[in-house]
A and B are shown apart, each in its own frame.
Chain A
Amino acid sequence: EAGVAQSPRYKIIEKRQSVAFWCNPISGHATLYWYQQILGQGPKLLIQFQNNGVVDDSQLPKDRFSAERLKGVDSTLKIQPAKLEDSAVYLCASSLPQEPITLNTEAFFGQGTRLTVV
């Protein structure tokens, strides 16, 4: 079974530039998450999609970050303009929706995109 695919693996940009990340979740996974992981910290959810609808974007800095999931499969996360504090690893994860709710709510993570803003 193929895992969550993300690209690019690394990106270096100057502040005020824009950048986009791409994620292809595991086939059949309706739920897709974008997490931001700053060095030395745990991942923090930016946005959660259920199919192509947004479930939770409460921690997404909407003045500069945007995300979409067209057709309920692939997703892109964009930052425009980037700030120095956006330097982090951006992780995409996917999971099956739980109906009925079980313990098996495993979220599978991709390898992430390491963004450096200089």
Chain B
Amino acid sequence: QQQVKQSPQSLIVQKGGISIINCAYENTAFDYFPWYQQFPGKGPALLIAIRPDVSEKKEGRFTISFNKSAKQFSLHIMDSQPGDSATYFCAAARISEKLVFGKGTKLTVNP
């Protein structure tokens, strides 16, 4: 059972554009929703995270939008840069419990 569904599988954006990655979850007990960024040959690194008591969180060019009723959340990357090219994973968990990851989105930002 896939508890976190992520789309699209791959995304190509021009430099300066907006990258949008979507995730949907099934378990209403989840209360922690992080996004991880992974470069080739590296482990995932936490990018930004949100709890369901807020609908949006912004850190620099990265924004999480959260829709609790729809059980969906998304990552927006504003002014996308070639250095943002990486694989992005959404995840969900109950605090202090295991992270359940989506399958990942490979983002390519063309110069």
Residues of A close to B91: CB separation below 8 A: 42
Q: Does A2 interact with chain B (Cβ within 8 Å)?
A: no
Contact A107 B99 (CB under 8 A): yes
Bound-state CA distance A4–B4 (Å) is: 26
Tell me the total A-B contact number using a CB cutoff of 8 A. Answer: 61
Q: List 30 A-B contacts (CB under 8 A).
A: A40-B103, A40-B104, A42-B6, A42-B101, A42-B102, A43-B44, A43-B99, A43-B101, A45-B100, A56-B97, A56-B98, A91-B44, A97-B96, A98-B96, A101-B95, A101-B96, A103-B32, A103-B49, A103-B51, A105-B32, A105-B93, A105-B95, A106-B46, A106-B49, A107-B46, A107-B99, A108-B46, A109-B36, A111-B42, A111-B43
Residues of chain B lying within 8 A (CB to CB) of residue A91: 43-44
Q: Tell me if A33 counts as interface (CB < 8 A to partner B).
A: yes
Residues of A near B36 (CB, < 8 A) are 109
Whether B73 sits at the interface, judged by CB under 8 Å, is no
User: Which residues of B (33-74) have their CB < 8 Å from a CB of A?
Assistant: 34, 36, 41-46, 49, 51
Interface code B80-105, partner A: CB below 8 Å = 1, 0 otherwise? 00000000010101011111111110
Q: Mark A21-41, 1 if CB is under 8 A from B, else 0.
A: 000000000010100000011
Q: Which of B32, B43, B96, B100 contacts A93 (CB 8 A)?
A: B43
Distance in Å: Cβ of A4 to nearest Cβ of chain B: 7
A91 to B34, CA, bound (A): 17
Instruction: Note all chain A residues with C-beta closer than 8 A to B100.
Output: 45
Q: Chain A interface (Cβ within 8 Å of chain B)?
A: 4, 31, 33, 40-45, 48, 56, 91, 93, 97-98, 101-103, 105-112
Q: Are A45 and B44 in contact (CB under 8 A)?
A: no
Residues of B within 8 A of A111 (CB): 41-43
For residue A105, give the distance in angstroms from its CB to the closest CB of chain B.
6
A4 touches B104 (CB 8 A): no
* Chain B min CB distance to A75 (Å): 15
Given the contacts A91-B44, A112-B43, A41 and B103 also touching, CB distance less than 8 Å: yes
**Shortest 9 CB-CB distances between A and B: which pairs?**
A42-B101, A109-B43, A45-B98, A101-B95, A98-B96, A106-B46, A109-B44, A42-B89, A43-B101
